[in-house]
Amino acid sequence: MSQSAPAGWYPQPDGTQRWWNGSAWGELAAQGHAAVVHGEVVRAPATPPPQQVPTSYPLPPGQPAPLVAGTYGYAPATRVAPKSAGIAVIASFFLPGLGQFINGQAGKGVAFLLSYFVGFLLLFVFIGILVIPVVWIWSMVDAYSSAQAWNARHGIRS
């Protein structure tokens, strides 16, 4: 299956334009210059009209499609908000596992919350006296370190 696009000038990432005659690429040409395609001289327009800019560019034969979406094969830039380690610790102080939910780690949050409630059930056999503080402190430390690690992975200094 071959892609076909109308003949015309197409912008390139380096700021030049390239002529596509419908089946083959011409030589690179700067604005205002001409390109020779199969003996045919084609002049580049001063500025390409908006309707000539395609949504997809034809690929040379045998070249695979790019794996990344976006203009010229680059993915669009996205912004991420930093995770607040302080809020995660405070949330885990009041309810173990809540800081993990705030950090986007639902599985860890459920595990800490269930461990905390199991600790309450084990109070009747006095094992809960050890389990509850360990889970409570571990939940706060993990919420803080997970938020810091997420920020570091995304290049955010916190």
Q: What is the pLDDT of residue 30?
A: 47
Q: What is the pLDDT of residue 154?
A: 84
User: Angle of helix 106-121 relative to helix 128-153, nearest 10 degrees?
Assistant: 170
Q: Look up the pTM and report it.
A: 0.52
CA distance 27 to 151: 46
Q: What is the pLDDT of residue 76?
A: 61
Q: Can you give the length of the chain in residues?
A: 158
Q: What is the pLDDT of residue 78?
A: 72
CA distance 84 to 156: 11
**Average pLDDT per block of 10 residues along the chain, 158 residues long:** 67 72 65 56 57 58 60 64 94 97 96 95 90 96 96 84
Determine the straight-line distance between the first and last CA of the chain, rounded to whole angstroms: 50
In order, the DSSP letters of 19-43 are: EE-SSSEEEEE-TT-EEEETTEEEE
CA distance 147 to 158: 9
